Structure 1
Amino acid sequence: MSLTAAAQTARIKGVILDENNQPVASVNVSYSGSGTSSNQNGFYVLKVPANKQVTLVFTHVSLKKITVTFVLEPKEEREFNPVMTNRKEQMGEVIIKANNRKQIQGISTIEPEMIRKIPGTNAGVENILKTLPGVNSNNELSTQYAVRGGNYDENLVYVNEIEVYRPFLIRSGQQEGLSFTNTDLVQNVDFSAGGFQAKFGDKLSSVLDITYRKPIKFGASLEASLLGGSLSVDLVSKDKKWSAVTGVRYRNNSLLVNSQETQTNFTPSFADIQTNINYNASAKWQWSFLGNISQNKYQYQPLTRQTNFGTIDNPMRLSVFYEGQEKDQYDTYFGAVKTTFNVSDNFTLKFIGSVFHTLEQEYFDIFAQYRLGEVDSSIGSETYGEVAFTRGIGSQLNHARNDLDALIVNTEIKGFQDWKESQFEWGIKYTRESIRDRIIEWEVIDSAGFSLNPPVIDLPKNDQPYSPYKGPLVPYQDIRATNFNSINRFSGYGQWSLKSTIGRSEVWYNAGVRMHQWEVSGATIIGKSQITISPRAQFAIKPDWQLDMIFRLSGGLYHQPPFYRELRNADALVQPNTKAQQSIHFVIGNDFSFTMWNRPFKLISELYYKSLSDVNTYTIDNVRIRYATNNNATAYAQGVDIRLNGEFVPGTESWFSFGYLKTEENSNNQGFIARPTDQRLKFGLLFQDYMPNIPSIKLYLNLVYNTGLPGGSPSYADPYAYQNRLNDYRRVDVGFSKVFIDNTTVKKNTGWFKDFKELAVGLEIFNLFDNQNAITNTWVRDVYSKNQYAIPNYMTTRVFNVKLSAKL
C-alpha cells in the first residue's frame, strides 16, 4: 500500500431554491474565475481549496446574487442550500471548523444517510455503532451495546441535548421492538467511546449525541419492509417561524423470531410516534418541543425447542416441549421543552425541561418439559442422528407478575460564553425519579421426577431417590418485593476550552469538572446523601507537518451514581446506600488523514486504560442485568481501537475496524476473572459499492466478528467456578438496492414519479452465511450426576427481507 500527499481541497454542494422552495436551474456558482452551474433540479457541486478563504458568488439572470465566504477543512464536504430572492442580496461568511472540533474531542461522526441504508435486523443508529471498534454486541435482536468493557447501563444517549431513557423490565432482545431514535428524523450523529468532556453526564462508558433536523421546506419519506414500516413528514409555515418533523413507526419481529430454534406462536406489536417542533420567536429566542409516545405489546407462546451441542465425538441434544405463554406491555411517554436565548453575540442561555413516564408489565406462566440425551454419531447405525441414551429428563415452571411505574422529571439550565479566544460552558440540573415497582417471580425445577431445592438455604439433606425426603418443597427461585422509592438528584458542570498555538502547531485545551449529589428514599428506607466530584481534561495538537495528523490525550475521573436498576439486588430489594461506581480514564488517540488512490482516507487509532473501583458486579441474561449492589469489587479495562475509513469505492464511504479489549474484575479479593463483557477481539467491516456499468444498483455490506463472551453461570452459583466462553460471534448482513430516482437522476415533469426525490427497492439478507451465534447459556442439571450442562441459546438464522424506500 502506498501513500500520497493529501490534496488540500474540499467540496461544496447543495440545492439552490427560490422563495417558493422551488429548485432554480442555471445558477452560476463561481469563485476566482472557476465555477459551475446548477442543473434543472437546482443541484450544484464545486471543488474549492481548503484552509483558505473562498468567496462564492451565486448569480442568476432574474434573481439577486448571493455572496458567501467559506473556510473549509481539507477533504471536507459541506452542504449549502441558498435561497435566492428578487428583493435583496445575501452576504455572509461561513467558517467551517465542526469536523476539526470533533476530531480533537475524539468524537466519531456518522452520516444519517449511511445509517438509513446499511442493512441490519435492527437497522438504525445502534446498528452502525456495532461496527465501530470498542463497541460490542452479540445480540442482533437488541439495540443495546457495550463499550470498552462497560455494560448496557453505562451509555449516555442524548437527542437535542436531552437525555433519553429505555424501559426497565425488558429481559431479551426480541422484546425491545424500537429504539428511541427515529432514523428518519436524524440530522447529525456523534459518538464518543471514552474520555469525553465534563458537559456530558455521569456514566462510565460512552456518549451518543443525536441532533434532529430542522426542516426548511415540505418533505416526506416512506419505508416499508417485511419487518414493518415508517413514515415521516417535514412541515414549515409560510413565515418560516414554525417547523416540525414528525415520524410514525411500526415494527413486527415475527420474521426474525420465527427463524430461531424455539418454535413459537409470536404476536408482537411495536409502534411509536415522535415529533420535533421548532419555533423561532425572534432572531435571539428559539423554542423547541420533542415528544414521543411508544407502545410495545409482546405476546409469546413457545411450543418446542431442539438444540444440538457438544462435540463431534460426544454430540448432545436438548429437546423441550412448552405449555403456557408470556404477555408483556411497555408504554412510554416522553416530552421535553427546550428554549435558547442569545443574550448577546458571545453569551447564550438554554433551558431544558423533560418528563419521562413508563408503564410496564411482565406476566408469564411457562411450563417446560425437557429431555437431555446423547446423540448416536455412528455412521451406518439404524439410530444415527437420534438420541441413543437419555442423561436427564425434567420439567421447569416459570411464573412472573411484574409491574413497574416510573416517572422521571428533569429541569436544566445551561450557559455558553465566548471570551477572547476561550469558551466557557456551565450547567445545573435537577432530577426527580419516582419508582413504583412490584416483583413476583418464582421458578420450580424438577429433575427425573424429583423437585430441586435452592442451594442457598439450609434445608434437610436430600439424597433422593435413595431415601425419602421429609423437608418442605420450596421453589428453586422465589423473588417477591414491592418498592416505592424516590431519588432526588442535583448535578452540574463547568468547563473551559481554548484554541492556541505552540510554535507553528495548533493546540486545543479543555478542562472541566462535574458534581453529582443524590439521595434515595422510600416508605421503609432512607438513604444517606452522597456526592461525587469528577474532574476531566483533554489536550490535542496538530503538528506543523506535511502529514495531516492530530494527536489527542484525554482522561479524568468518571462516576456513575446508581440508577434504580443498579440499586435493586438479586432479591429485588432496594439498597439505598449503594455507592457510585468510579472509573479513571486514560485515552491516547491519533487521527491521520491521507490520500490513497487519489481518494480521501482517515486512520483513527486510540489506546485506552480504565481503572475501576467501588464496582457493582452484575450478571447478564440476554439483555437483563442483575446487580449485586455491594460495591465490593475492583476492575480494569484496557485495549486498542483502530478504524480505517474512506472511499474504497469512489463516491462512497466504507470502513474497517479492529478492537482489542481485556476487562477483568476482582470481587472480595478472590482474584481477577473475566467480566461479563470481556470481548477480546472485534473486527467490523462496513462497505458500500455499486455496479460500475449500472450505478443505480447498490450494495451495502455489514460484517461483524467478535470472539466469544463469558458464558455466565447458573443461578446461585459462584461465577469464579464458571469461566467458560461462548463460541465466536460471526455475522454478515448484506443489502442490494435498485435506485430508480435520486439526486443524480434526470426526472420527468409528468407522471406518478415527478415529485419523488428518491425511490428505491431493496433485498436484504440477514446472517448471509447462516452462522449459529449464541447470546447466553441455559443451564440444565442432571440429578444423578449432579452435572450442570451449558446449553447455548442460539440467535437468528438466515432471513430474507424486501424493502421499499421513497422520499418526496
Structure 2
Amino acid sequence: MSIHKLLYSLLFTFVATVTFAQTGKITGVVLDENNKPIEGVNVSTLSTSVTTDAYGFYVIEVPAQQKVTVNFKHVAFKMVTQNFEVQSQEVLEFNPVMDSEYEQLGQVVISGVRPRATGVITVTPEVVRKIPGLNGGVENILKILGANGNSDMSTQYSVRGGNYDENLVYVNEVEIYRPFLIRSGQQEGLSFVNSDLIQKIDFYAGGFEAKYGDKMSSVLDITYEKPKEFGASLDASFLGGALSAKGISKDKKWSAIGGIRYRDNSLLVNSQETQTNYRPRYMDGQLNVNFMPSEKWNHSLLGNVSLNRYNYQPLTRQTNFGTLDEPIALQIFYEGQEDDRYQTLFGAYKTTFKPNDNNNYRFIASAYHTQEQEYFDIDASYFLGEVDANIGSETFGNVTFNRAIGSQLNHARNNLDALIFNAEIKGSNNQTGKHRFDWGVKYTHENIRDRIVEWEVIDSAGFSLNPPVIDIPVDQPYQPYIGPLVPYQNVRATNFVDINRFSGYAQWNTRTRLRRGTLIATAGVRAHNWTVSGQNIASKSQTVFSPRVQLAYKVDGKDLLYRFSTGFYYQPPFYRELRDQFGVVNPNVKAQQSFHVVLGNEYGFKMWERPFRLVSELYYKDMQDVNTYTLENVRIRYRANNDAVAYAYGLDVRLNGEFVKGTESWFTFGYMKTEENQNNRGYIARPTDQRLKFGILFQDYMPNIPNLKLYMNIVYNTGLPGGSPSYADAYTYQSRLRDYRRADVGFFYVFTEKNAQRPNGHWLKKFKDLSLGFEIYNMFNNQNAITNTWVRDAYTKNQYGIPNYMTTRVFNLRLTARL
C-alpha cells in the first residue's frame, strides 16, 4: 500500500461545520481486504450520492435523528450496506472494508484498538493522548498491549522476553534510532514519536511479516497525519508543554504538520530519594512536509532536531530497607556532578510513484546523526547501618550502629559520534485483486566513533578493593596488602567502526475462500548481509536468511478469527552488540536467531448489549547464538560472544469493550517465562524474565456531569531479576527486585463535550477539544525499584543489594486544546 494513501486511511478529525442544523455527516475511508483505499466507490442513501476520491475518502450528508441506510458500491467488489442514526450536526466516522468475495453487514462499531488478520493491533491517537502516565506517549500504552516495562521515567520497553534493543520503530516507513549512551531513564527526556502528529499506530508483539526489518521481538509502526485542513494543538502541564500545527495549501498539493516539545522532569526528580541540585530539560522539534504534484507522485520530508541536557549534582540519599524485625538504612553523601548531553539530528526523504491502481513504488533515504557526551565524577561516601525499631525509644527510626562504611568514586569521559545513512526501494504489486506482492532492497551505512574512559574505585573501611579478576589474597587490616592498586572497574577503549549492510525482502499475500470462512495467507523471506570493519579491526562479512509465514482464518457469520505465525527472526549485531563489557569490538559476533511460533484467537461478542472483543495469543520463541548481557537501569552491556541459547514462552490475553456505556476500556493479562543457558552451565532467568503482568486502562465519566472524564492506567508486573555487581557471575546472583505496581489516574473536565448543542458562533465551537485535567501519578505511592546499588564491606566480605527506588506520588495539572 502506498504511504500517501495510508496517511488518509484513518482520518480521525471533524470535517467542516455542517450547513443545516437538522443533518449530520458520515465520513471515512473505504478500504479493500489489503487495507488499500478504493477510488470510485459510490456511497449513497435514498436521497444523496457521493463518490470516493483517489484516497478512498468520502463525506456524505444524511438526515439527523432517523435511521438511514448507506450503500457502498463498486464494480469490482461486493456491496457493503450499513445502517446509521446520527444526531444533529454530528460527524460520524465509518471505514468499511470491501471484499471481492462477500458483503459486509452489521452495526457501526468504532473501536480504539482494532486487531487485524495479520496480528497487528491498531491504536487511535486519541487514546494515546489521554492515557495518564509520566512519559505520556505511545510507549505508555504499549504496556497495556503486550510490552513490559518497570521504569517510571523511561520510554524503553521489552516485549516477550526481549530487551530494549530488539524492537523496531518506524515513522512513515522510516526506521527510527535512539541515542546509544543513555544509561538511566532520567536521561531519556523525550521519545522520538510526537503523539500530537500521529494518525495511526500499529503494534506487532511478535510473529510479524517479512516486510519489517531484522529484529527479534516487536514492531511499532507509526503513520503521521497528512492534513486536509488547518489545525493546531496545545498541551501544557507542570512537566512541560507541546505545541503543534498543521495546514494545507489552497491547491491541495502542499501540506505540512509539525510540533515542538519541551519537558522538565524536576517535578519527578524531586520526588525521589536522592536529593539533588538538578533540573533536567529536554526539547525537540519535528516537521513533516508533503508535496503531491499529481495523483501519481507524492513527495515527503521528515525532520527532527533533539537536544537533551542532563546536569546532575547529587547531594544526599537515604534508603530504608530490610524487614520489620531488622530494618537497615543506607545513607550516602555525595560530592561531584554529572554532565551529559545527547544531541540528535534526523532527516528523511520519501517519494511514492503510483503508475496505476495495482502498482506503487517508494524510494526512501534517511540520515541519523547523534553526538553524545557522558562526563561525571561522583564520590559517594556511604554508611550502612542498623535502624532502631523499638517503638517509644528516643532514637526510634535513627541509625544506631554502622555495619559498613566506605566510599565509591565513579569517573567517566565517554564520547560517541554516530552517523547512520539508509537508502531503500520498495514496491507493491496487486494481481487480480486476490494476490499481492511486496518487495524491497535497502542499503545502510553506519559510521561509529566511540571513546570510552570509565572507571570505579571502591574504598571499604579505609581499604581499597581490587576487582575479582585479580586473584591476590587480601587479608586487610590484619596483613598489609602489597599487590597492585587498581580500580575495581576500569574500561578504556577507542573504537572507529564502519558497518555496511545490504538487506531485502520478498513477500506474497493472498486471500481465498475455504469452506465456511476466508483464509488469509502471507509468506515472505528476508536476507541481510553485513560487513564490519574499522581501525585495528579485521573485516568480517556475514549473511542470514529469514523465512516467515502468517495464516489467518475468519469464520463466516461470526466475529471469530484464528491466527498462526511462524518464522525465523535474525538480529544482526548493531554497534552496541559488537562491543563487550571491556569496550572491545568483536567483529565476529553472529546474528542472534529466534524461531517464533504464535497461535492467536480473536472473538467479538456482546455483553450488556454492548460490543466486546477478546484477544488471546500463545507464543514460543527458541533462541540460538544469544548475545548475553547485563541490565543496569536502562543500560545494556553485552558480552559479545554468542555464548548462550535461550527460550521464551507465554500467554497474552486482552479484553476490551464498553464496560461503561459510551467509553472503551482494556484489561490485559500475561504470563511469560524466559531463561538462558550460558556455555551449558544450566538455565537461569534472563534479565527480562518478568513472569506475570496485569494491566488496566479504564475510562469512565460521571452520569450527572458527563463533561467530567476519568482515565485510569494500572500496571502490575512481577519482579525482574535484580542484576549483579560489576564483573560478577550471573549464576551467583539470581535475586529478584520487588514487584512493580503502579496506578496513574487523570480527571479531565471537557469543556467541548456538548459542542453539538451549542449555537454557531459560540467561542467553544472553534475547539475540537478543550480539557483541563488533574493527574495523580503513582496514586498509591508504591515503592518500585529499577535496580540495586551494591555496597561492599571489607570486614564481612558481604555485598548488599540496596534497591534504587523510583518516583513517589506526584500531582500534575494539565491543559489540552485542539483546533
If the length of structure 2 is used for normalisation, what is the TM-score? Answer: 0.89
Q: Distance in 2 between matches of 1:452 and 1:660?
A: 42
- The 3 A distance-change label for structure 1 pair 429 and 69 is closer
1:444 corresponds in structure 2 to 457
Q: What SS does structure 1 have at the residue aligned with 2:423?
A: strand
Q: Could you tell me how far apart the structure 2 residues matched to 1:704 and 1:70 are?
A: 34
Q: Which one is further off, 425-434 or 503-512?
A: 503-512
| Contact 1:742–1:757 under 8 Å retained in 2 | no
Q: Which residue of 2 aligns with 1:468?
A: 480
Residue identity in the other structure for 1:768: M
Give the Cα separation in 1 of the matches to 2:488 and 2:754: 62
Matched, 1:139 2:151: yes
In the other structure, the counterpart of 2:182 is 170
- Aligned residue in 2 for 1:53: 80
Task: Read off the aligned partner of 1:54 and give its amino acid letter.
Answer: T
* SS of structure 1 residue aligned to 2:705: coil
Aligned partner of 2:30 in structure 1 is: none
Conservation of the 8 A alpha-carbon contact between 1:318 and 1:370: yes
SS at match of 1:709: coil
> Are the aligned partners of 1:645 and 1:654 in contact in 2 as well (CA < 8 Å)?
yes
For the pair 1:614 / 2:641, whether they are aligned, the reply is no
Tell me, in whole angstroms, the C-alpha distance in 2 between the residues paired with 1:73 and 1:621: 53
Describe the superposition over 1:317-341 as per-residue Cα deviations: whole angstroms up to 9, x where unpaired. Answer: 1000001111111010000011110
In the aligned structure 2, how far is the partner of 1:709 from the partner of 1:558? 25
Structure 2 counterpart of 1:376:
388
Distance 1:306 1:288, change over 3 A: same
Residues 435-479 of structure 1: per-residue CA shift (max 9 Å, x gap): 000111011100001011111124x43211001112221111111
Are 2:723 and 1:712 aligned? yes
CA contact (8 A) 1:15 1:43 kept: no
- Confirm or deny that 1:225 pairs with 2:252: no
TM-score (ref. length: structure 1): 0.91
Measure, in 2, the Cα distance between the counterparts of 1:196 and 1:14: 30
Matching of residue 269 in structure 1 with residue 284 in structure 2:
no
CA drift at 1:383: 2.2
Please give the alpha-carbon distance, in whole angstroms, between the structure 2 residues aligned to 1:42 and 1:399: 72
Check whether the contact 1:708–1:727 (CA below 8 A) recurs between aligned residues. Answer: yes
Deviation digits for residues 161-199 of structure 1, max 9, x if unmatched? Answer: 100000000000010000000000000000010000000
Answer with 658-667 or 123-132: which moved more.
Answer: 123-132
Is it true that 1:496 corresponds to 2:523 in the alignment? no
Contact 1:75–1:600 (Cα < 8 Å) also in 2: no
Q: What secondary structure does 1:649 align onto?
A: coil
Matched, 1:478 2:505: no
**Residue from 84, 105, 114 that aligns with 2:127:** 114
What letter corresponds to residue 344 of structure 2 in structure 1? T
Q: Helix, strand or coil for the counterpart of 1:785? A: coil
Write the distance in 1 (CA, Å) between the matches of 2:430 and 2:667.
38
Q: Report SS of the residue matched to 2:165.
A: helix
Aligned CA distance change for structure 1 residues 293 and 12 (closer, same or farther; 3 Å): closer
Deviation per CA, 1:629-681, whole angstroms, max 9, x where unpaired? 00010000000000000111122111000000000000010000000000000
In 2: Cα distance, 1:394 partner to 1:16 partner: 66
Give the whole-Å Cα distance in 2 for the aligned partners of 1:140 and 1:75.
Answer: 40
Matched, 1:456 2:469: yes
Given that residues 12 and 48 in structure 1 are in contact (C-alpha distance below 8 angstroms), is that contact kept between their aligned partners in structure 2?
no
Q: Is the 8 A contact 2:386 2:403 kept in 1?
A: yes
Q: Does the Cα contact within 8 Å between 2:448 and 2:497 map onto a contact in 1? A: yes
Report the CA distance shift for 1:364/1:748 in structure 2 as closer, same or farther (over 3 A).
Answer: farther
Q: How much does 1:526 deviate?
A: 2.2
SS at match of 2:141: helix
Deviation per residue, 1:572-599 (Å, 9 max, x gap): 1111110000000000000001111111
2:674 pairs with 648, 651, 663, which one?
A: 663
Mark the CA change 1:639 to 1:446 in structure 2 (over 3 Å): closer, same or farther. Answer: same
Equivalent residue runs for 1:742-761 within 5 Å: 742=753, 744-747=755-758, 749-750=760-761, 753-761=764-772
Distance change (3 Å), C-alpha of 1:744 and 1:755: closer
1:413 aligned to 422, 425, 435, which one? Answer: 425
Spell out, residue by residue over 1:288-321, the C-alpha distance to the aligned partner (whole angstroms, 9 max, x if none): 1111000111111101000011111211110000
Residue 88 of structure 1: aligned partner = none
Please name the residue that 2:416 is paired with. 404
Q: Does residue 316 of structure 2 align to residue 289 of structure 1?
A: no
Q: CA deviation at 1:753?
A: 4.3
2:139 is matched with which residue: 107, 114, 126? 126
Letter in 2 for 1:266: Y
In the alignment, which residue of structure 2 is the partner of 1:701?
Answer: 712
Distance 1:581 1:427 in 2: 23
* Residue number in structure 2 paired with 1:806: 817
1:548, CA displacement in angstroms?
1.9
**Equivalent residues of 2:271, 2:807 under 8 A apart:** yes
Give the counterpart letter for 1:602 in structure 2.
R
Quickly say closer, same or farther: Cα 1:46–1:405, change in 2 above 3 A.
Answer: farther
Q: Which stretch shows the higher mean deviation, 738-747 or 372-381?
A: 738-747
Partner residue of 2:747 out of 736, 754, 772:
736
Residue 796 of structure 1: which of 807, 816, 819 is its match? 807
- Structure 2: gaps (5+ residues): 1-9, 27-43, 50-58, 72-77, 86-94, 99-103
Distance in 2 of aligned mates of 1:490 and 1:76: 46
Instruction: Pick one of 146, 171, 190 that aligns with 2:202.
Output: 190
Cα separation, 2, equivalents of 1:609 and 1:45: 51
Distance 1:539 1:461 in 2: 62
Structure 1 segments unaligned to the other structure (5+ residues): 1-10, 59-67, 80-97
Matched-pair contact (CA < 8 Å) for 1:306–1:318 = yes
2:257 to 229, 233, 245: 245
Q: What is the rounded CA distance, in whole Å, between the counterparts of 2:395 and 2:489 in structure 1? A: 38
**1:334-345 to 2 correspondence within 5 Å?**
334-345=346-357
Specify the alignment match of 1:201 in structure 2. 213
1:280 aligns with 2:292: yes
How far is the alpha carbon of 1:694 from its aligned partner?
0.8
Question: CA offsets, 1:29-85, max 9 Å, x none?
Answer: 69666999x999999997768995238999xxxxxxxxx997557555579xxxxxx
Tell me the distance in 1 between the aligned counterparts of 2:660 and 2:795. Answer: 61
Within the alignment, does 1:558 sit opposite 2:566 as a pair? no
Mark the CA change 1:24 to 1:469 in structure 2 (over 3 Å): closer, same or farther.
Answer: farther
